[in-house]
Structure 1
Amino acid sequence: MNEQTLLVNAENIQVDFRTEGGIAQAVRDVSFKIYKGQTVALVGESGSGKSISARVLMKLLPKSAIVGKDTRITLHGEDMSQYDEQDMRKIRGKKIGMIFQEPMTSLNPIYTVGDQIGEIIREHNRAMSKQEIREQVLSLLTEMQLPDPEKRIDQYPHQMSGGQRQRVMIAMALANKPDLLIADEPTTALDVTVQAEILNLLKRLQEKFHMGVLLITHDLTIVRKYADWVYVMQHGKVVENNETENLFTTPTHAYTQHLLNSEPKGTAPAVPAENPVILEGKNVQVSFVTEPGNWWLRRPEKRFKAVKGLDLTLRRGETLGIVGESGSGKTTLGHAILRLIESEGEMIYDGITLHDRDRKAMRPLRKRMQIVFQDPFSSLNPRMTVRQIIQEGMIINNIGTDDADREQRAIQALQESGLAPFALDRFPHEFSGGQRQRIAIAKAIAMEPEFILLDEPTSALDLSVQNQIIQLLRQLQQKHNLSYLFISHDLRVVRALCHRIMVMRHGDLVEMGDTVTVMDDPKEEYTRRLIRAAFEVAA
């Protein structure tokens, strides 16, 4: 390595957590260095301690965390171990910016995105006028390739797709041109066509401002393309570190070799021809009010059409994949089918009409129709233990003969989702993003449904765990004849799991057909562009 200026030196990071079951070790003796202009990657499976190690730098750990006495972090040679909260406020957002893994939990729902980005700028630039701040926010949103930035600046987080919210988070992290950028899964919620754009943008800004970047990700293809140095973590420890190309070509640790050999494999087995249709949608339409009307001024309301008259069918035991760029209407369509939002058109489930049912009338069907949301943290009650979260639906729907039976069902659901029974006594905030995703899957599985809407269920999971989840979903489907509606931007996972694929863009259907046929011989240019982007990133 050429002579470089040391930006961050992290030594002997040790973190424990207080839990009801005692002290849980999370990170042990982790050390790493970041130089100016360098991208350092922390990789490893969910729960390996990557995000916790990074949060030590920002002093953003929960109150239950215990940081080791020998842990030492220096920034520009200054020891931050004695910094109090007031000192850290001067650091956060100015010298160190952070892109969080789950944007919906980091964005305030009652403020517009423009106000939230502007607050970060104002905090460290008191002399700037409101107009100057607004212009800088617009410039940032434009750099993030956010469509219609003049319109988006005045919108609230809930009015944006998951990928759009992620781009807002990136804009906030870069607002004050920090010396160090911590990017915790910065492209998790982004489709493949935008991933490369965002990462190239981060790379350009890094070179322009000579930033150091700490990249935390489960996507090894991104690491190989953008990182200079890699630290591999397992069970809270660093097991191997090296220059990126050396680590990928000659890994020495068995765990590193395991990670590098992990990728979604295989294709979905054929669905028996006699399997009946369980779900049908006809001319499904969804629109949202963007500007209320005014009767006195004879001004009609303005609406945005998010889903534009789509038809679909799903058979028992089948998986239908819905793909497309962020904001294409994938999640909106899924929520409309489950009657979670208002829509037009016909929806029929197992011979039962859904489109004419209100929330109360839908309640008896909720046991049979489950959903795993894209952002698991926002769908898991932070005040409840995992046991309470999983058993809540059982109690409401009278599943299980008694408390002991429900306990066994909860344990089985956790184990099938790749988590140990001790997780039952912990709270959502004590888990990594990938672990929370598995808790959300366990919650759905425990209800013994016939149909599951899976909204980006593997987006927060590393490649090796993706394979486990894919195998789990296949096994459950085979065992219980489950039907899945699988929403994803990861075409590699879609190819491995889905029988058919539905490509959406701007609320319209672009192409639909057998997954292998569509991906090997797409008919539409947009589909070809999606596939090309997916496998170029993977190459």
Structure 2
Amino acid sequence: MLLDVKDLSIDYLSPNGRQPILCKLNFIINNNSIVGITGESGSGKSMTALSLLGLNNDNLDFDTSGSIFYNGTDLIKCDEKQWARIRNKKISIIFQNPDAALNPVVKCGKQIIEVIKLHQKELESKAAHLRMVELLEKVGFSDTDRISQSFPHELSGGQQQRIVIAIAIANSPEIIIADEATSSLDDETSDEIFDLLIRIKKETGCSIIFITHDIKMLLRHSDRILLIVEGCILANFDNKPNIISNLDSKVKAYITAELPQMNHNNVFTDESNILEVKSLYKSFLLRGYLK
């Protein structure tokens, strides 16, 4: 067991009094596993992710209770100095918007090297550079020289997210949290990023926490799935073939509502195409010219 979350609760101290955000969450993350966390927007998924990295500790409006045990250490009790030795080394996170996660005025290669040397201060510059190139190749780049010398705004959204993933795996963490890591990407790029993370998990043996609305992806890849509703865990179940038919009616209703085009009893079988478009052409007039 890598992570053991016990009775995790977070209250927001609003002008109208204490408002619960998370209510006594209990779950575990095992070694070399994939756990999916899903739920409606505002249900508390991302707050759960922030809590696992202590990123809400500085906000005095939040009151956190419970325990998050990582290798026997209660992370709730860690100070910022202790967290600095954990973030991006033991536990890392991939956020929803890569353009916000990256420094816009620092070249991508340098940003990766900075994270490497943050936790490996003894590493010489040449070795850090070689590690950066290795990471770029691992996340799917062949033109590593161009990418490393590019600023984030010079890359596409999918390329930016690959840079964020390279940063996340730079120090070989045991847990990677992917918080809506593909929601800002198109479907094809989203699938590529999911496949990349699954491959990284297989190669490194790390555990991944997928926080996403993509139920189809979770049912295909997760070992365990948590459904959070209004800050509480409504369901926490092992992912097995035909699992949907055995779920509680409320849980089944939520999941099937998210899978309108799928065979609800067998999400592992790809359906044939229902629409095929060939040689589609569109023209329009712009300033007197045909475009």
In the alignment, structure 1 segments of 5+ residues that lack a partner are 1-5, 266-516, 525-539
Task: Note if 1:142 corresponds to 2:137.
Answer: yes
Partner of 1:91, secondary structure, is coil
Q: Please state how far the C-alpha of 1:8 moved relative to its aligned partner.
A: 0.2
Per the alignment, residue 285 of structure 2 pairs with none
Partner Cα separation in structure 1 for residue 196 and residue 71 of structure 2: 25
- Counterpart contact for 1:118–1:134, Cα < 8 Å: yes
* CA RMSD, Structure 1 to Structure 2 (Å): 2.3
Partner Cα separation in structure 2 for residue 198 and residue 122 of structure 1: 25
- Counterpart contact for 1:12–1:72, Cα < 8 Å: yes
Cα shift readout 1:309-346 (whole Å, capped 9, x = no counterpart): xxxxxxxxxxxxxxxxxxxxxxxxxxxxxxxxxxxxxx
Partner Cα separation in structure 2 for residue 225 and residue 65 of structure 1: 38
Cα shift readout 1:405-437 (whole Å, capped 9, x = no counterpart): xxxxxxxxxxxxxxxxxxxxxxxxxxxxxxxxx
Q: Please state how far the C-alpha of 1:205 moved relative to its aligned partner.
A: 2.4
Per the alignment, residue 176 of structure 2 pairs with 181
**Residue in structure 2 matching 1:522, options 268, 278, 289:** 278
Q: Please state how far the C-alpha of 1:109 moved relative to its aligned partner.
A: 1.4
Q: Please state how far the C-alpha of 1:59 moved relative to its aligned partner.
A: 0.2
Partner of 1:151, secondary structure, is helix
Partner of 2:181, secondary structure, is coil
The structure with higher relative contact order (CA 8 Å, sep 6+) is 2
**Residue in structure 2 matching 1:262, options 258, 274, 277:** 258
Partner of 2:219, secondary structure, is helix
Per the alignment, residue 209 of structure 1 pairs with 204
Shift in CA distance, 147/209, structure 1 to aligned 2, threshold 3 Å: closer
2:278 maps to amino acid = P
TM-score (norm 2): 0.84
1:66 maps to amino acid = F
Per the alignment, residue 250 of structure 1 pairs with 246
Shift in CA distance, 520/122, structure 1 to aligned 2, threshold 3 Å: same
1:132 maps to amino acid = A
Partner of 1:68, secondary structure, is strand
Shift in CA distance, 23/158, structure 1 to aligned 2, threshold 3 Å: farther
Cα shift readout 1:141-166 (whole Å, capped 9, x = no counterpart): 22222463211111111222222211
Q: Please state how far the C-alpha of 1:255 moved relative to its aligned partner.
A: 4.2
Q: Which runs of 4+ in 1 moved over 6 A?
A: none
Shift in CA distance, 64/185, structure 1 to aligned 2, threshold 3 Å: same
- Counterpart contact for 1:166–1:189, Cα < 8 Å: no
- Counterpart contact for 1:231–1:242, Cα < 8 Å: yes
Please give the residue correspondences for 1:156-195 in structure 2 after superposition, counting only pairs within 5 Å.
156-195=151-190
Identical pairs, percent:
29
Q: Please state how far the C-alpha of 1:523 moved relative to its aligned partner.
A: 3.4
Q: How many residues align?
A: 267
- Counterpart contact for 1:179–1:212, Cα < 8 Å: yes
Structure of larger gyration radius: 1
Please give the residue correspondences for 1:467-478 in structure 2 after superposition, counting only pairs within 5 Å.
none
1:197 maps to amino acid = E
Partner Cα separation in structure 1 for residue 43 and residue 252 of structure 2: 13
- Counterpart contact for 1:181–1:214, Cα < 8 Å: yes
Per the alignment, residue 35 of structure 1 pairs with 30
Partner Cα separation in structure 1 for residue 92 and residue 165 of structure 2: 9
- Counterpart contact for 1:240–1:253, Cα < 8 Å: no
- Counterpart contact for 1:170–1:186, Cα < 8 Å: no
- Counterpart contact for 2:14–2:61, Cα < 8 Å: no
- Counterpart contact for 1:13–1:67, Cα < 8 Å: no
- Counterpart contact for 1:17–1:64, Cα < 8 Å: no
Please give the residue correspondences for 1:71-110 in structure 2 after superposition, counting only pairs within 5 Å.
71-110=66-105
**Residue in structure 1 matching 2:21, options 26, 44, 56:** 26
2:180 maps to amino acid = E
TM-score (norm 1): 0.47
Partner Cα separation in structure 2 for residue 522 and residue 264 of structure 1: 25
**Residue in structure 2 matching 1:196, options 167, 182, 191:** 191
**Residue in structure 2 matching 1:237, options 216, 232, 255:** 232
Please give the residue correspondences for 1:274-353 in structure 2 after superposition, counting only pairs within 5 Å.
none
Shift in CA distance, 142/248, structure 1 to aligned 2, threshold 3 Å: farther
Task: Note if 1:66 corresponds to 2:57.
Answer: no
Partner Cα separation in structure 2 for residue 249 and residue 155 of structure 1: 49
Partner Cα separation in structure 2 for residue 247 and residue 100 of structure 1: 29
Shift in CA distance, 150/220, structure 1 to aligned 2, threshold 3 Å: same
